[in-house]
Amino acid sequence: MSSRIAYSSIGVVGAGAYGTALALAAARAGRKVRLWARDATTIEAVEQTRQAPRLPGIDLPDSIRATSSLVVLADCDALIVAVPTQALRSACEGLAGTLPPRVPVISAAKGIEQASGRFVTEVIEQAWPGATAAILSGPSFAADIGRGLPTAVTLAAADPDLAQALAEALSSSALRIYHSADIRGVEIGGAAKNVLAIAAGIAVGLGLGESARAALVARGFAELRRFGEAYGADPETLMGLSGLGDVVLSCASPQSRNFSYGLALGQGKKPAEAAGGKLAEGAFTAPALVEMARAKQVETPIAEAVAAVIAGHVGVHDAVAALLARPIRAE
d(CA 247, CA 190): 8
The DSSP secondary-structure symbol of 155 reads: E
| 8 A C-beta contact, residue 13 and residue 81 | yes
Task: Please count the CA atoms within 13 angstroms of the CA of 14 that sit on its side-chain side.
Answer: 24
Q: Which stretches does DSSP call E strand in the chain?
A: 9-13, 32-36, 64-67, 78-81, 104-107, 112-113, 118-119, 132-137, 151-157, 175-180
- Among candidate residues 32, 110, 193, 270, the one labeled active-site is 193
Q: How many CB atoms within 10 Å of residue 25?
A: 26
d(CA 250, CA 312): 23
CB-based burial of residue 329 (10 Å sphere; 0-12 exposed, 13-18 middle, 19+ buried)? exposed
| 8 A C-beta contact, residue 303 and residue 228 | no
| 8 A C-beta contact, residue 131 and residue 125 | yes
Q: Minimal CA–CA distance to 215: which of 302, 286, 139?
A: 302
- Catalytic status, residue 193: yes
Strands ordered across the beta sheet of 132-137: 64-67, 32-36, 9-13, 78-81, 104-107, 132-137, 151-157, 175-180
| 326 Cβ contact partners less than 8 Å away, ≥ 6 residues apart | 301
d(CA 21, CA 274): 26
For the chain, count helices (H), then strands (E): 15, 10
Active site residues: 193
